Amino acid sequence: MDNLPANSSANAERDKQRNFLYLVYGLYIVTVFTAGIAALIGLIIAYAKRDTVTDAVYATHIPYLIRTFWGTLLGFIGLPILLVALSYAVKFPLFFLYPLVGLTGLWYLFRVIFGIVRLIDNQPVTPTGWFV
């Protein structure tokens, strides 16, 4: 009577984990319009669920997403603080601030889009890498 394959519950769990990752990536994309609030929600969800993702491919995406958040926060807050301090200490010109913050935004979008593409292809990401 039951025509489902024996591993259908494993596939269902894998799909659940994948959908969770789509949710977090979606929140990271939407954060462009929410001033970071959606990414903060995504980060909280990623931290809460990181021990429940058991699939080897999907498990690499969790630390990747967490690093993406913290790297972006460092870039958007840390770089301006550093450059303002440098401008007072050694008369470092502040016009370098805008391109560096812009590059941080591009880095964020690149990592999120790259991660989504890898997730769509059922491929892992390098969780400890800062670029891809």
Asked if residue 132 belongs to a domain, the reply is: no
| 92-104 pLDDT, tens digit each | 777 777 888 889 9
What is the DSSP track for 18-73? HHHHHHHHHHHHHHHHHTTHHHHHHHHHHHHHTTT---HHHHTHHHHHHHHHHHHH
Q: In this structure, what token pair is assigned to residue 74?
A: 């460092």
Asked if residue 116 belongs to a domain, the reply is: yes
What pLDDT, on a 0 to 100 scale, did the predictor assign at position 74? Answer: 93
Asked if residue 127 belongs to a domain, the reply is: no
Q: In this structure, what token pair is assigned to residue 29?
A: 């994309």
Angle CA 61–66–72, to nearest 5: 120
C-beta neighbour count of 115 within 10 angstroms: 22
Asked if residue 22 belongs to a domain, the reply is: yes
pTM: 0.86
Give the total number of structural domains in the chain: 1
What pLDDT, on a 0 to 100 scale, did the predictor assign at position 109? Answer: 96
* Domain coverage including residue 100: 5-121
Asked if residue 50 belongs to a domain, the reply is: yes
Asked if residue 90 belongs to a domain, the reply is: yes
Asked if residue 128 belongs to a domain, the reply is: no
Residues of the chain with pLDDT under 70: 1-6
Contacts of 36 (CB under 8 A, 6+ apart): 73
Asked if residue 53 belongs to a domain, the reply is: yes
